[in-house]
Amino acid sequence: MRRLVPCALLLVAFLCLIASCTRRSPLKSDDPAPSPAPQRTQYTIAATLRAEEKTLSVESEILYACPIDELAAVKLRLYANAYAEGNVVVTEDKVAATYPGGKISTGGAEILEATADGQSAPYDLGQGGTLMTLRLPRKYKRGETIRLTVTERVTLANCRHRLGYADGYYFLSDFYPVLCPFREGKYLSYDYTPYGDPFLQETADFALDLTLPLGCECAASSPAERREKQGSAERLSYTLKGARDFAAVCSEKLRYTEDSSAGFPVRYYYENDPKKADTLARVVKAVTEYASLFGEYPYPAYTVVAAPFFEAGVEHSGLSVLSSALSVAERGEVILHETAHQWWFGKVGSDGYRDAWMDEGLAEYTVALSYKRAGATAAYRAKLRAAEDAFSVRYAIKGAEGARFDRTLTEMADGYYDRVYSGGLLLFASLAAKVGEDALISALRAYATEYAGAVATPEDLIRSLSDSLGEDLSSFFTARLSCALPID
């Protein structure tokens, strides 16, 4: 996210399982035969947007490998209910940018049916309706495949947020149930905070059939593999493996331009951009440069869409959303930041709630590095100076405890931007000054390779960089994260 403020047999069986579940209607799974456990969770989703009702009907099938013995219930996030009455998705200062006319609008998910292995499954909703605890028909053993289905009717709020509609656009992320990560014997379920990205997203394989009104163009986490007209609607079929999420932005107003010089399709969707070729070239340059610095881009395609979004931008696997309200200069920086997230979020996951400094700090450092390597010395210095100013002011007013950024989003609250983005950038910039820029780039490339597809902890990052750089960096990180030493 970027704020708008300046700123062999089993393998065959596994492949058969994938082939069978990607083409099956999610709720027609009456095959009782036990399946081998999939290596990654598989989401097979059929969603239909009803534009006149501003609703999305969603049928999801989830194939999930049981994480422990004796599992009796599974926890899923229903982020669509973050938009339900009584919940808050933005801070007060963002209401005008998020809701057309500044009028708060609500939405939510109505659960029509939930099943586990073909049997109706009882469930409870908690955390403002965003946490679904679904009881299983029996206790499962570790490694067994659990087949879950959830049928929902999602009402979209009138907002320019992750999920909603506004200005002729539909923002479709987090519209399907998401399995909670399982750590140390229990499911994690963080508060849905109105700031930052309060998610820890593990990689999964996605197959989505999205039915849209005819004439709606759709920027998504991957290009559509098939498009099929159905009366006044069109069904678009997608697959994406090893992704943190699957998201789309749809509108009749969108068109796109494409370039394949990076070795894979790079698309730019826009409504009105007289410099669309320049914008696309910036996206291609960013993705090409980052691949050369940090290793292979993790998805088969990359798409950027300019849309009336409430923040400057947000990242999804294979897709970045940019606010269409940005100036040319702002857009250039947001492209650099969100594209960096394809490595620091997409390729290497981290806990966006507990360790937000990891992907935001690395994304901001990557932007600064890109300026420096392009010879844009003034932009590089200005970026570092802005971070130093923001962080030092916070440190002066709030002290070390109010500036340290090894804290959760809830603990940092509205101070998270200066702490996580500015503090994170300064941390990696001072590390580059300490060990050398080229050495740090090599170490980050090794880290990205080692943790590709995984979720890295701060300890993983520190250990990996220490190994690569031949120096124990534990005390360096601890001192700076906790502000025991001012960041220079």
Q: Which sign, positive or negative, has the C-alpha torsion 212, 215, 220, 225?
A: positive
Q: What is the largest CA-CA distance in the chain?
A: 65
String of b and e for 37-63 (b: at least 16 CB within 10 Å)? bbebbbbbbbbbbebeebbbbbbbbbb
Report the residue number, 2 or 407, with the smaller CB distance to Zn ion: 2
Give the C-alpha separation, 408 to 190, whole Å: 10
Give the C-alpha separation, 484 to 486, whole Å: 7
- Take residue 372 and report the two structure tokens written for it: 């420096």
Report the residue number, 42 or 342, with the smaller CB distance to Zn ion: 342
How near is the Cβ of 346 to Zn ion at its closest, in Å? 12
Residue 475: which residues within 8 A CB-CB, separation 6 or more?
none
Q: Give residue 159's Cα distance to chain centre.
A: 19
- How much of the chain is in helix, strand and coil states, percent to nearest 5? 35, 30, 35
How near is the Cβ of 450 to Zn ion at its closest, in Å? 22
How near is the Cβ of 37 to Zn ion at its closest, in Å? 34
How near is the Cβ of 317 to Zn ion at its closest, in Å? 14
How near is the Cβ of 341 to Zn ion at its closest, in Å? 6
- Amino acid type, 142: R
How near is the Cβ of 315 to Zn ion at its closest, in Å? 6
Q: Is 359 helix (H, G, I), strand (E, B) or coil?
A: helix
Report the residue number, 1 or 219, with the smaller CB distance to Zn ion: 1
Residue 162: which residues within 8 A CB-CB, separation 6 or more?
79, 89, 171, 173, 174, 247, 314
Report the residue number, 114 or 312, with the smaller CB distance to Zn ion: 312
Report the residue number, 205 or 360, with the smaller CB distance to Zn ion: 360
Residues that bind Zn ion (CB under 5 A): 1-2, 360, 363
How near is the Cβ of 73 to Zn ion at its closest, in Å? 33
Report the residue number, 75 or 341, with the smaller CB distance to Zn ion: 341
Report the residue number, 63 or 335, with the smaller CB distance to Zn ion: 335
- Take residue 221 and report the two structure tokens written for it: 């986490």
